[in-house]
């Protein structure tokens, strides 16, 4: 045994490590493989778009300063590897999370922007095949999601933790351990080394800063580093979840439960319930966008901005997104329930154009956002976060018209399929060879990762031409 000081042969950390190290492509259900291919395409589309953002450019500038003479992995959209795998994961992960377009899970985190950049960077470095990549992504998503479920997402969020940053290193480490073919011991070390790096605070909401975008990339980078160190024999805590003095479950939440880490492991894949974002804003606001768009349809356009508007909120949504809207950064608007509802009512959409500098400071939008009445609804507390339910009501000719939404568009209960993701990719990245990219990503087992990355490079060249 590589770990001569093993203190526990069982427990959730060991059980997860055993599962990750033994997981093979043929173990994955057909639906799980399909979801992995869809989220791969979606994350790549978000990443190519996100590389144009100032925060992604800044991180790339930082990574370039320490780049090796011979790169291991590519910046998505470039023609050849130029960065260490960990730094490519950092840059691509930040880009994928760069404009609130990337996938999310109702465990209150964004797995795609963490797991996929880490897995793609490692797979490129190793020359791994499509089946290995799909298996690794599945392992990473599952570990990351289960980590958040064990923390009790609402409880951890209310303590100020951004769960993408906290749980992301677990998922990235699991994906990279799978690609590296680490045994149970070293996979456990990788999880421990990933978990000890987990962090991410919601303080970005104070002033809409770039740090939220950074959390996904940093988590991806931490997971790559964790797996690479474990492969070299660098040990990590093999009870990272359950240890009472500094284990993740106790440290990050007062309401944690280890059971979700391993319950039905290998039989139930929580990743199948990953949500695809049709809107460029916080996932907890998507049902409100759906409700606002339906109100707009019922009451007619152009929207009468003098109407009173009310929204009902669960406690967590109120804390996270219910703050008074003051024009500031794009992130400030993307996290603001009031602004998102106002944009959906007046603009009929909540996509990147609605979060331009011009729009987020538009006096009419800001005025409506400031007048939206937000109220706590205990019934929504009972549903959230298992269901991202919402209601929006508007006064019309002396009566109130209310729209309730239980599950937003893009969720597992109201899904966006592969065709929808292709159109989303096309919409946010116009004039790109989307069909060719989609063909390679949605059948990655029969196409090489090198070909897929080459298509992204061609896409970037067209984008900047």
- For residue range 177-218, what is the model confidence (pLDDT) as tens digits? 999 999 999 999 999 999 999 999 999 999 999 999 999 999
**pLDDT per residue over 236-295, tens digit each?**
999 999 999 999 999 999 999 999 999 999 999 999 999 999 999 999 999 999 999 999
From the list 425, 389, 410, 289, the residue with the least C-alpha distance to 347 is: 289
Looking at residue 355, what is its pLDDT?
97
Question: CA 147, CA 128: separation in Å to the nearest integer?
Answer: 26
Residue 6 has pLDDT above 60, yes or no: no
Sheet of strand 390-396: strand arrangement? 373-376, 309-313, 390-396, 399-405
- pLDDT given for residue 432 in this prediction: 84
Calculate what percentage of the chain has a pLDDT beyond 70.
Answer: 97
Same domain (yes/no): 169, 90: yes
* Final residue before a domain boundary, out of 350, 370, 405: 405
Report residue 293: phi and psi, to 5°.
-65, -35
Can you tell me the distance from the alpha carbon of 291 to that of 416, in angstroms, rounded to the nearest whole number?
17
Give domain status of residue 443, yes or no: no
Residues 358 and 215 in one domain: no
- CATH number assigned to the domain comprising residue 231: 1.10.4100.10
What is the pLDDT at residue 2? 41
Name 290's bridge partners.
none
**pLDDT tens, 343-393?**
999 999 999 999 999 999 999 999 999 999 999 999 999 999 999 999 999
Same domain as 210, residue 293: no
Q: How confident is the model at residue 431 (pLDDT cuts 50, 70, 90)?
A: confident
Domain-terminating residue out of 249, 273, 297: 273
Residue 348 makes CB contacts below 8 A (sequence gap 6+) with 293, 296, 301
253 phi and psi, to 5 degrees?
Answer: -150, 145
Cis before 385 (ω within 30): yes
Q: Rounded to two decimals, what is the model's pTM? A: 0.96
My answer on whether 319 and 259 are in the same domain is: no
pLDDT band, very low/low/confident/very high, at 465 (cuts 50, 70, 90): low
Do 86 and 224 touch, CB atoms closer than 8 A?
Answer: yes
Interatomic CA distance for residues 48 and 101, integer angstroms: 11
Confidence at residue 63, expressed as pLDDT on a 0 to 100 scale: 96
Tokens read off for 208: 């809409």
- Interval 128-175: pLDDT, tens: 999 999 999 999 999 999 999 999 999 999 999 999 999 999 999 999
Q: Shortest CA distance to 140 belongs to which of 160, 112, 121?
A: 112
Residues 232 and 141 in one domain: yes
* Cβ contact 121:66 at 8 Å: no
| pLDDT number for residue 406 | 97
H/E stretch holding 395: strand 390-396
| pLDDT surpasses 80 at 462 | no
Domain assignment present for 278: no
**Looking at the structure, do residues 156 and 197 belong to the same domain, yes or no?**
yes
Clarify whether residues 151 and 117 are in a common domain: yes
Is 32:142 a contact under the CB 8 Å cutoff?
no
Domain boundary among 222, 238, 273: 273
In a domain, 421, yes or no: no
**Cα 413 from Cα 278, distance rounded (Å):** 14
For residue 301, the tally of other CB atoms under 10 A from its CB is 10
Give the separation between CA 121 and CA 89, rounded to whole angstroms.
Answer: 6
User: What are the φ/ψ torsions at residue 387 (nearest 5 degrees)?
Assistant: -130, 130
Q: What is the pLDDT of residue 3?
A: 43
Question: CA 341 to CA 345: how far, in whole Å?
Answer: 6
Q: Is the pLDDT of residue 1 over 50?
A: no
pLDDT for 53-62, tens place per residue?
A: 999 999 999 9
Residues 241 and 317 in one domain: no
373 and 311 in contact (C-beta within 8 Å)? yes
| Band (430; pLDDT cuts 50, 70, 90) | confident
Kindly tell me if the per-residue pLDDT of 48 is higher than 70: yes
Q: By the 8 A CB rule, do 45 and 425 touch?
A: yes
Read off the CATH number of the domain in which 295 is found: 3.30.1330.120
Domain that holds residue 366: 283-405
Cα–Cα distance measured from residue 420 to residue 415, given in angstroms and rounded to the nearest whole number: 9
What's the structural domain count of the chain?
A: 2
Helices (H), 266-336: 286-299, 315-321, 330-335
174 membership: H or E segment, kind and range:
helix 163-180
pLDDT at 5: 44
- Predicted confidence band at 9 (pLDDT cuts at 50, 70, 90)? confident
Residue entry with tokens 């009512």: 345
pLDDT tens digits for range 97-126:
999 999 999 999 999 999 999 999 999 999
Residues 259 and 308 in one domain: no
CA 268 to chain centre: 20
Q: Which two tokens stand for residue 293?
A: 């768009």
In the chain, the largest separation of any two C-alpha atoms, in whole Å, equals 76
pLDDT computed for residue 72 by the predictor: 97
């Amino acid at each position: 045994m590589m770990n001569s000081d093993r203190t526990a042969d069982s427990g959730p950390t060991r059980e997860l490590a055993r599962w990750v190290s033994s997981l093979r492509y043929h173990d994955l259900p057909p639906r799980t493989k399909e979801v992995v291919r869809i989220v791969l395409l979606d994350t790549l589309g978000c990443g190519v778009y996100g590389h144009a953002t100032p925060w992604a450019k800044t991180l790339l500038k930082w990574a370039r300063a320490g780049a090796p003479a011979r790169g291991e992995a590519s910046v998505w959209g470039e023609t050849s590897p130029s960065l260490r795998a960990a730094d490519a994961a950092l840059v691509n992960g930040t880009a994928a999370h760069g404009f609130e377009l990337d996938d999310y899970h109702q465990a209150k985190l964004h797995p795609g922007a963490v797991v996929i950049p880490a897995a793609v960077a490692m797979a490129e470095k190793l020359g791994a095949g499509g089946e290995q990549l799909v298996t690794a992504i599945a392992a990473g998503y599952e570990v990351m999601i289960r980590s958040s479920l064990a923390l009790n997402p609402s409880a951890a969020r209310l303590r100020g933790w951004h769960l993408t940053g906290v749980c992301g290193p677990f998922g990235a480490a699991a994906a990279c351990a799978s690609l590296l073919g680490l045994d149970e011991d070293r996979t456990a070390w990788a999880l421990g080394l990933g978990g000890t790096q987990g962090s991410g605070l919601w303080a970005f909401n104070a002033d809409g800063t770039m740090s939220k975008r950074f959390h996904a990339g940093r988590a991806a980078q931490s997971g790559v580093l964790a797996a690479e160190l474990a492969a070299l024999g660098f040990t990590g805590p093999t009870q990272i979840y359950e240890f009472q003095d500094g284990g993740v479950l106790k440290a990050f939440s007062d309401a944690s439960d280890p059971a979700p880490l391993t319950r039905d492991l290998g039989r139930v894949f929580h990743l199948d319930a990953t949500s695809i974002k049709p809107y460029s804003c916080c996932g907890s606001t998507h049902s409100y966008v759906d409700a606002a768009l339906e109100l707009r349809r019922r009451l007619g356009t152009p929207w009468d901005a003098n109407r009173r508007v009310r929204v009902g909120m669960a406690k967590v949504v109120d804390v996270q997104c219910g703050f008074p809207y003051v024009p500031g950064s794009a992130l400030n608007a993307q996290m603001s329930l009031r602004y998102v509802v106002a944009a959906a009512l007046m603009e009929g959409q909540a996509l990147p154009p609605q979060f331009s500098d011009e729009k987020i400071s538009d006096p009419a939008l800001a005025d409506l956002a400031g007048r939206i009445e937000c109220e706590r609804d205990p019934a929504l507390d009972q549903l959230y976060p298992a269901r991202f339910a919402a209601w929006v009501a508007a006064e019309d000719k002396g009566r109130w018209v209310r729209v309730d939404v239980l599950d937003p568009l893009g969720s597992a209960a109201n899904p966006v399929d592969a065709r929808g993701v292709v159109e989303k990719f096309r919409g946010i990245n116009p004039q790109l060879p989307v069909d060719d990219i989609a063909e390679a990503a949605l059948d990655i087992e029969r196409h090489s990762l090198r070909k897929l990355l080459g298509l992204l490079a061609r896409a970037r060249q067209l984008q900047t031409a």
